[in-house]
Amino acid sequence: MSYLRNTTNQPSQLDSPQHTIEVEQLHKRFGKINAVDGISFKVEKGQIVGFLGPNGAGKSTTMRILTGYNRASSGIAKICGIPVAADPHFIKRRIGYMPENNPLPLELRVREYLKWRAKVKEIPFSQRRRAIETALESCDLLRAQDRIIGKLSKGFRQRVGIADAILANPDVIIMDEPTIGLDPHQVILIRDLIASLRGRMTVIISSHILPEIEMTCDQIIIINHGKIVGQGSPAELRDTFIDHTTYEVEIHGSIEKLKTALSSIAPELQIEKTSERCPQGFATVEIQIKGKRDYGERLFQTLANCPDLRPRSLRSKMAPLEDVFLAATRRSWEEVDQELVANGEEQAVN
Ligand code: ATP
């Protein structure tokens, strides 16, 4: 159900295209700063997308352009097929936006605030009560609806921000660091809440908490210096940026013997990390090799047949998203250096 009236002859939610968000060659300059430097991407309906990048990469600026709060210097951003710049007011009503450090009126009660927001969002009067109940229920705020916002914990306030964002049942939700400063319990609650929107709304979240992004998002876009440096599912990004395979083995026996066994398989199999031994004498050892060739089976057979070693478990270990992020953003620094050299600017930098 959409509360939005189609007052123009622009497409409605029913005939909106497959991609709810389309960005093409978007640029935003602040004086000499290229905050957003020619980014293009598309997001399919109902997907949850993580927007990652170091501080100052251009995430908030991109989000603000998508919401119609900032104007792009050039390029196009479309929501449900409609260019944002063509009708920012209309777009604002199709988007739920939760900015970074979401400012809330601290003196209002939760329900009172949502009532006011429902009016601002032009939800028809007859549907407001229902919309508020749904938002309160989805964000587990029914118990807190009569409490003063200023007296709520940070986690509850973030939930009020999300309730506001979903209130008008928008096509797109944009959240700038929704879990910043929350304790791990609250992070899990907000993560589950965001995951529950999958399929119903298209969601873009920016965050520096990478495991959270990995758990919640279908697609990830990594930006740095205003440019996209990586894009895809977590598995696709690993495939692009991680150039080694890691195995974790729990083993009893001397590490020297393990090294000898490894070199009989491939001299490049290296021990990366060794934990302390547990009381039973087992240690967890991380073994790494460059490239994507799978050594799992040979490793298992060799260790199981080695009389001096007793393996207890073996598994291949996925690289954390943090490694992908670091590799993607490091790569772009190198590209920037190359650009400077190409432009003959390296002397100015040094
Ligand atoms: P963070 O993770 O720290 O929130 P971000 O990726 O969201 O960073 P942006 O806030 O989009 O980055 O900023 C991108 C660049 O644009 C930065 O260099 C920032 O200083 C600059 N910038 C952003 N807004 C303005 C503004 N209103 N005026 C001038 N420069 C700005």
Judge if the beta carbon of residue 55 lies within 6 A of ligand 1: yes
Judge if the beta carbon of residue 329 lies within 6 A of ligand 1: no
**Nearest of 31, 42, 97 to residue 67 by alpha carbon:** 97
Cβ partners under 8 Å of residue 196, min gap 6: 138
What distance in angstroms lies between residue 70's CA and the mean position of ligand 1's atoms? 12
Do 47 and 202 touch, CB atoms closer than 8 A? yes
In this structure, which amino acid lies at residue 350?
A: N
Q: Residues spanned by CATH 3.40.50.300 within the chain?
A: 19-232
What distance in angstroms lies between residue 53's CA and the mean position of ligand 1's atoms? 11
What distance in angstroms lies between residue 71's CA and the mean position of ligand 1's atoms? 14
What distance in angstroms lies between residue 33's CA and the mean position of ligand 1's atoms? 9
Judge if the beta carbon of residue 60 lies within 6 A of ligand 1: yes
Judge if the beta carbon of residue 33 lies within 6 A of ligand 1: yes
Q: Average pLDDT per run of 10 along the chain, which is 350 residues long?
A: 34 54 95 93 94 92 92 94 85 87 92 96 94 93 95 91 93 91 85 90 91 91 94 93 92 89 88 89 90 87 89 90 90 61 46
Both tokens of residue 329?
């953003």
pTM of the model: 0.82
* Three-class secondary structure of residue 119 per DSSP: helix
Nearest CA to ligand 1 atom 30: 30
In this structure, CATH architecture of domain 243-317: 2-Layer Sandwich (3.30)
Note the CATH number of domain 19-232. 3.40.50.300
Both tokens of residue 167?
């209130």
The ligand 1 atom at the shortest distance from the C-alpha of residue 226 is 14
Q: Residues spanned by CATH 3.30.70.260 within the chain?
A: 243-317
The ligand 1 atom at the shortest distance from the C-alpha of residue 100 is 4
Nearest CA to ligand 1 atom 27: 30
In this structure, which amino acid lies at residue 121?
A: K
DSSP H helical ranges for 242-312? 255-265, 296-305
Tell me 154's DSSP state.
H
Residue whose CB lies within 8 A of the most ligand 1 atoms, among 32, 33, 227, for a mutation test? 33
Give the pLDDT score at 8: 35
